[in-house]
Amino acid sequence: MSELRNQVMWNRLISIVEEQALALVRTAFSTSVREAGDLSAGVYDTRGRMIAQAVTGTPGHVNTMAAAVVNFIEDIGHHQIYEGDSYITNDPWKGTGHLHDFTLVNPVFRKGTLIGFFACTAHVVDVGGRGFGPDATEVYEEGLYVPIMKFANRGVVNEDLLNIVRHNVREAGQVVGDLYSLSGCNDTGARRLHAMLDEFGIDDLEELAEFIFDRTAIATRESITALPPGIYTNTMRVDGYNETIDLAVTLTVTKDDIHADFAGTSPTCANGVNVPLTYAHAYFSYAMLVALAPEMPSNWASLAAFTVSAPEGCILNAKHPQPVAVRHVTGHFVTDLCLGAIADVLPDVIPAEGSGALWNFQVSARASDPTSDLPPREVLMFNSGGTGARPALDGINSTAFPSGVRTMPAEATEQSGPVIVWRKELRPGSGGVGRQRGGLGQVIEIGPAIGYQITVSCMFDRVANPARGRHGGGEGAPGAVHLDDDTPFDAKGKQAVPDGHTLVLELPGGGGLGDPAGRDPDASANDAAQGYVT
């Protein structure tokens, strides 16, 4: 094939997996997928190497799923892969890091021959156990654990599996609906792929995949040359679960690759803020790609240049059966940790630290009157603080970085369950000062609908350890959690909101960058006019 023809098909593949992802968004039952985009989608060759990924999705899902398909092939076995199959798991160590993410993989056959796989991942609202939160002390408590197995065998759905799921989760309709949506979006990708192969008159992806991997490997090596070979280090302190966590990284840069070693990082925690290494790997790879090659499509070859190691027993290398339910709370900081290691070498590229971890919360709503027939509901809401200031621009207000998920609208949250969002507004003064100001956090106030009581599972960070500024910039404001009468509320763990009260979340801001004295007077005047500063 000509190089031009291969490039056209490469672009077509990216559009195919993007349609695959959007099919999942449109058919999903959970608001985490439908509203926040907490998902990933991609196409793989017969060896399980990712050829292309959708733009829609999160690095934690995409980059872990890039390694997951190989696990599916090994566990199912080539001799048991049939046309019409669909495979499933939520294994944190073979999937995407915690039980709330289900990954489904569908093989693609053409003229009776296996030519590749489509895979996708999404966060579901509930998997049973203690519910989504950091309270568990073993993965066994965190919910239903589905090993790699067949969701469908030659087109016949595994009803025994679905029956087990229905009887072990609180929101059976949403969870089972999402599993069908995941498998269905893989089918959408397969149909579009066959149409492309028909159009170009080919029957497999082998030559195209090798073209993509070859060009990507060359471009990745060229991008790495922006960093002089050497050793780069950084440390960061974050809140943890009732005990401060120290994160440490040593980057070893050569002309061909970059290795991250997390030696010096705090040991694992008794509660579920631990991180499987595959998830830490995902956010390290993402950090390097956004800093060095932000325009490059991500695939097996681009990710192969970035490797990791960590001492067994450190919080970024949790092992089964350690609890990992909210691995994102710690894992999202890996990106800023690694970017900070190269900040002095790339001062015109690397931003200040941001709020990092999402401020997710899960609400369990139950009828105030035990004799009432009001149904119990589980409601999940994603929220974000401010990002760090950038070398030439202010930080972005209330935007998720590095995860990239969207903040859920208040209307969508209220529609999904008996929760009222009384306030959702930017938090003045929360961005760190600097030549470029840090992004603002937000203030959110929630309470139960009439007839309900709510218990909130908190998983918040940067309350004790705010985002640091860079090159003379100031810290972002720390987060705060309290009731409407200012009674303190723990930043992590499941707690009841007393009757007659609401819960107030003050999300952290991003760090500033550069000497505040150098800020453009017009930008300062605009900050005051917009109410961004106090």
Q: Structure tokens of 219?
A: 């471009």
* Strand intervals (E) in 266-418: 306-309, 361-367, 377-381
Q: How do residues 311-356 score in pLDDT, each as one tens digit? A: 999 999 999 999 999 999 999 999 999 999 999 999 999 999 999 9
* Strand intervals (E) in 45-112: 50-53, 86-89, 101-110
Sign of CA dihedral 65, 66, 68, 69: positive
- Final residue in a domain of this structure, among 183, 217, 251: 217
- Final residue in a domain of this structure, among 217, 244, 279: 217
CA distance 121 to 61: 7
Cβ distance 403 to 97 under 8 Å?
Answer: no
Is residue 454 assigned to a domain?
yes
CB atoms within 10 A of CB 246: 13
Is residue 315 assigned to a domain?
no
Q: Which one, of 131, 127, 125, 122, lies nearest residue 165 by Cα? A: 127
Question: If pLDDT is split at 50, 70 and 90, which confidence band does 386 have?
Answer: very high
Is residue 460 assigned to a domain?
yes
Is residue 258 assigned to a domain?
no
CA distance 333 to 311: 18
Greater confidence, 66 or 511?
Answer: 511
Cβ distance 261 to 249 under 8 Å?
Answer: yes
Q: Which long-range contacts (CB under 8 A, 24 or more apart) does 264-268 make?
A: 264/235, 265/310, 265/311, 265/314, 265/315, 265/316, 266/240, 266/314, 266/315, 267/313, 267/314, 267/315, 268/313, 268/314, 268/315, 268/318, 268/322
Identify the domain containing residue 385 by its residue range.
Answer: 351-534
Strand order in the sheet with 149-153: 50-53, 39-44, 113-123, 101-110, 86-89, 149-153, 156-157
Give the helix ranges, DSSP H, for 28-88.
31-34, 59-76
Angle between helices 206-224 and 3-27 (to 10 degrees): 90
CA distance 400 to 356: 7
Query: What is the average pLDDT across 16-23?
Result: 96
**Phi, psi of 378, rounded to the nearest 5 degrees:** -115, 130
Question: If pLDDT is split at 50, 70 and 90, which confidence band does 1 have?
Answer: low
- Final residue in a domain of this structure, among 188, 217, 246: 217
CA distance 4 to 181: 35
- The fraction of the chain above a pLDDT of 90, given in percent, is 93
- Indicate if the pLDDT at residue 153 is higher than 60: yes
Amino acid at 90: N
The predicted pLDDT at position 408 comes to 85
Q: How do residues 451-482 score in pLDDT, each as one tens digit? A: 999 999 999 999 999 999 999 999 999 999 99
DSSP 505: E
Query: Model-level pTM?
Result: 0.96
Is residue 496 assigned to a domain?
yes
**Phi, psi of 299, rounded to the nearest 5 degrees:** -155, -175
The predicted pLDDT at position 270 comes to 97
Q: Structure tokens of 96?
A: 């995407």
Q: How do residues 197-244 score in pLDDT, each as one tens digit? A: 999 999 999 999 999 999 999 999 999 999 999 999 999 999 999 899
Q: How many separate domains does the chain show?
A: 2
- Indicate if the pLDDT at residue 426 is higher than 80: yes
Strands 101-110 and 113-123: antiparallel
Is residue 345 assigned to a domain?
no
Is residue 286 assigned to a domain?
no
Of 286-290, 347-351, 407-411, the range with the lowest mean pLDDT is 407-411
What does pLDDT average to over the chain?
96
- Indicate if the pLDDT at residue 56 is higher than 90: no
CA distance 322 to 402: 25
Query: What is the average pLDDT across 48-72?
Result: 92
Is residue 273 assigned to a domain?
no
